[in-house]
Structure 1
Amino acid sequence: MTTTTFTLGGDLTINRLGFGAMRLATGTFDGPTRAPATGAAVLRRAVERGVNHIDTAGFYGRGAVRANELIRTALAPYRDDLVIATKVGPLPGADGVPSGQAGPGGLRALVEADLRALGLERLDLVHLRVGGMTGPGGESIAERFAVLAELRAEGLIRHLGVSNVDAAQLAEARAIAPVSAVQNRYSDDMELLAACEDGGIAYTPYFPLGGGPGGTHPDTTDRIAEVAARLGASVAQVRIAWLLARAPSVLAIPGTGSLPHLEENLAAGELLLSEKDLADLNGRPVG
């Protein structure tokens, strides 16, 4: 049976099926805004259904509709067991799409802005999100991560994470301060996943439905559809369940701005994949 919880940073027990806030305000970074009341209803229902890990960022939103403000409006005062994770680093351009990144001198202001928007005195988890829309690697993160480590020492942050990193960048960060979580676009980077497992670090894929195990390769898509049909589940539900089956340290944060879609995603947490299901999904014989 799949373990349903993970202890983040050694002291925060969270359900492995959480909620990503990116789509609360808009379906895409450049899409139209959603009604704030709908976003607030989705958040309240998610928490009612047992979600206690919400992933957000100050750059999630468009115009006056911002994910962090929706979270505060819908959920404050917060439940004691609710863990809110955020990301700092990306800087939105004039079109609202994150196209730049803050240097070391700009990170404190971003953390303080998240504290104000969420109505918190301390952030549970802050990821340093590095790079642009490209893949990880190719730059040092030490100077920027050291700034977040200082803010943690001041008590503004409880736990630190990194996002869009490779194994070398993770090691660079861990040499500075404890890393509790890695948030990357899902790939079959077993070296990075193994490093997270060995270090008790949460591995949280973003875009979990479009970039989960197997990606969107036609053969994999067909296998997922076959398993979904056999289980009477949706393809999205099987993708989430398969993701959670990868390792006990993997967290899922599917996001939505729709109540029916939320219920569909959360039902994936109750979907049990058999040995045959997993073998079929992985394209290998049973045993």
Structure 2
Amino acid sequence: MAAAGALGRILPNLGGPRGVCRRLYIGVVRSMALYGAPIWADTLRARNAALLRRPQRAIALRAARAYRTVSHVAACLLAGSPPWDLEAEVQSSVYWRVMRARAEENWPGPQEVRKWREEAHDVLYHKWTERLEIPGASRDLVTAVRPVLKKWVERKHGTPSFHLTQLLTGHGCFGWYLCERVGREPTTECHHCDGRAVDTAQHTREECPAWAEHRAVLSTAMGGDLSLPALIHQMADSEEAWVAVANFSVAVMTRKEAAERMREDDANSRRAFAARVLPLLLPP
């Protein structure tokens, strides 16, 4: 946790190191956490697995440029970091398989060991997929990523950005999140349309008329279907699709953030005015 915290302090959500560097830092903390994994992986219990999740979530949030309210499962999916208890099982499986082969004086070559590692990773993805069947949090994102889990994690293109992560998780500059989760807005209603709709990531992506122009560009690039599962599927397949969604997120979320700052400034002005005027109106 100390290492994850220290590295996290140099990984701001806006700016800072790029995705390659952030993945490297995940690897640093992962190597520390999984030191000696072949020895202890088979005896891992729920309490210790929970301890492993704490530093993984901390560094995965930094890699995904996500708010601290984003769940462990969502942070790992966005950062492309399989659960470390499952990675410990991979290390243990390959290590002891090599040891057994050597004990029988059947020294495996690099290609054979690589094949064993790939087989162990296939088991990891199978177990990870089973875990995601009943998501405890981030249900929309998990449901969208689960069918293309391996392709999503092993893709060679696209890294999460601050605005893209908001659009995929729903944790960001949305009325629902700002009101229900962090208490910074008095209402969940959308400030950019008629005000009757709840402002969520889905509303922003698919419905809000304020973003019709940007949505039209995205819809053309994505073939018309802007549901989260369709976006995730195409983003996993294509760098062009990833860039299209990322561009939409930047164009829309920056304007939503600017509007939020204006509302905050206006509210602060009203509070400051009330603080000055009300004492003058009250009887001595």
TM-score (norm 1): 0.24
Structure showing greater Rg: 2
More helix by share: 2
Q: Which has the higher contact order (CA 8 A, sep 6+)?
A: 1
TM-score (norm 2): 0.25
